[in-house]
Amino acid sequence: MHSRFFSVLRARTGLGGKRTGHLEKWLSLTGGLAGILAIMLVSEASLGLSGSASLVASMGASAVLLFAVPHGALSQPWPVFGGHLVSAVVGVACAQTIAQPFLAAPLAVGLAIGAMHYLRCIHPPGGATALSAVMGGDAVQALGFQFVITPVLLNVLVILSIAVLFNFPFAWRRYPAALGGAHKAPGKADAQADGATDRPLRPADIRRGAYYSNGASGPRRQIRQVVTGSPENADADTVTYQVVAGIGHPRTGTVSREDFARWARYEVYLTESWQRAEATASDTA
C-alpha cells in the first residue's frame, strides 16, 4: 500500500523521474561555476559588487538552465538572449517612468512576461532581470538604458559563449541543442548496441516504478508508470499502471504483464523531456 502510494506520488509530482550519473552532475556543477565566475567579473566591473548582486542572481538562474539542462527549450540562445534583453528594456522603462518601486516592480515583471511571450523568448530568469532594473539600487538606476548594454547584454554574451565552449567537448550535451545531433555515424559496435535497444521488452523486464512509452508520436503518444506488479509480489502476472503523459492522462489501469510488454516499445525517463532509457541524451521518446 505504502509502495503504491509513493509511486503514484512520484508520478504526479515529478519526484525522482531521472537519475543522472556522477559525470553529468559534475559537468553541470563545473559549467555553472565557470559561467557565474565570468558573470561576476563583468558585473563587478560595470556596477560594483553590491550593485551587481541582484543581476548576478538572475544570471545564476540562467546558469542552471544552460549547464544542467542545456537542451531544454528555455535554455536555447534566443530565449536567453531575447528574454534578458527585452526584460531589461522593460525594467528600465518602468523604473524611469514610475516613481513608486512598489508599482514599478510588479509592472516590470508582468510586462516582461508579456513581451517574452509575444517575442517567443520565454526565459524565466528574464523576470529577475526586469526586477533588478527597478530594485537594483542607485548604481543600476544611474545607468539608465545603459544597463541594457552593460552589464546585461555583455553578461548574456559571456554566459552563452561559455555554454557553447564548455559543453562542446561532450557530444551528448553540445549547446545549442541543434549541435547535439551532429554526431558521426556509429561504428559497427555502436550499431549493434543500437539494434539491441529495439528488441521488444519481455514481461520479466517490466519493473515497478519505471516509465514506459508506446513509441508513438503526436496525439497517440502515451507514457505509463508501473505502480504495482513487481516479480516478488503474488500478483506478478498483472501490473497496475498510471498514464503520466500523453493520451489518456491521468487514468490508471491493470493489465497482464504480457499485454503491458506488448504495448511498451521501450523504457523512458524524464529530464526536460521524456527520453529513451537506453539512448543518448539527445534521443527523445
248-269 pLDDT, tens digit per residue, is 887 888 999 989 999 999 888 7
Low-confidence ranges of the chain (pLDDT < 50): 181-197, 231-235, 279-285
Which is nearest to 50 in space by CA: 135, 134, 125, 137? 137
* CA Rg value for the chain: 23
Cα dihedral sign, 277-281-283-285: positive
Cα dihedral sign, 24-25-26-32: positive
Backbone angles phi, psi at 90, to 5 degrees: -65, -45
Query: Which residues is 225 bridged to in the sheet?
Result: 211, 242
Q: Are residues 35 and 131 in the same domain?
A: yes
Query: Which residues is 241 bridged to in the sheet?
Result: 226, 253
The total domain count for the chain is 2
pLDDT for 189? 38
Let me know if residue 283 belongs to a domain. Answer: no
Q: Are residues 30 and 114 in the same domain?
A: yes
- C-alpha torsion angle, residues 160, 164, 165, 166 (rounded to 10): 90
pLDDT for 183? 41
Containing structural domain, residue 112: 22-180
Q: Please identify, among 180, 205, 236, the residue that sits at the C-terminal boundary of a domain.
A: 180
Let me know if residue 118 belongs to a domain. Answer: yes
- DSSP, res 236: T
Q: Are residues 138 and 45 in the same domain?
A: yes
Q: Are residues 26 and 161 in the same domain?
A: yes
pLDDT digits (tens, 9 = 90+) for 153-212: 999 999 999 999 999 998 888 899 878 644 433 333 333 334 444 567 888 888 888 889
Which is nearest to 285 in space by CA: 231, 216, 220? 216
Let me know if residue 144 belongs to a domain. Answer: yes
Q: Are residues 202 and 170 in the same domain?
A: no
Whether cis (ω within 30° of 0) applies to the bond prior to 77 is no
pLDDT for 15? 63
- Which residues lie closer than 8 Å to 40 by C-beta, 6 or more apart? 52, 56
Q: Are residues 220 and 149 in the same domain?
A: no
pLDDT for 180? 62
pLDDT for 284? 41
Let me know if residue 15 belongs to a domain. Answer: no
pLDDT for 141? 87
Q: Are residues 60 and 167 in the same domain?
A: yes
Let me know if residue 10 belongs to a domain. Answer: no
Q: Are residues 121 and 226 in the same domain?
A: no
Q: Are residues 174 and 193 in the same domain?
A: no
118 neighbors 148 (Cβ within 8 angstroms): no
Q: Are residues 228 and 202 in the same domain?
A: yes
Q: Please identify, among 143, 164, 180, the residue that sits at the C-terminal boundary of a domain.
A: 180
Q: Are residues 133 and 227 in the same domain?
A: no
Let me know if residue 91 belongs to a domain. Answer: yes
Q: Are residues 171 and 197 in the same domain?
A: no
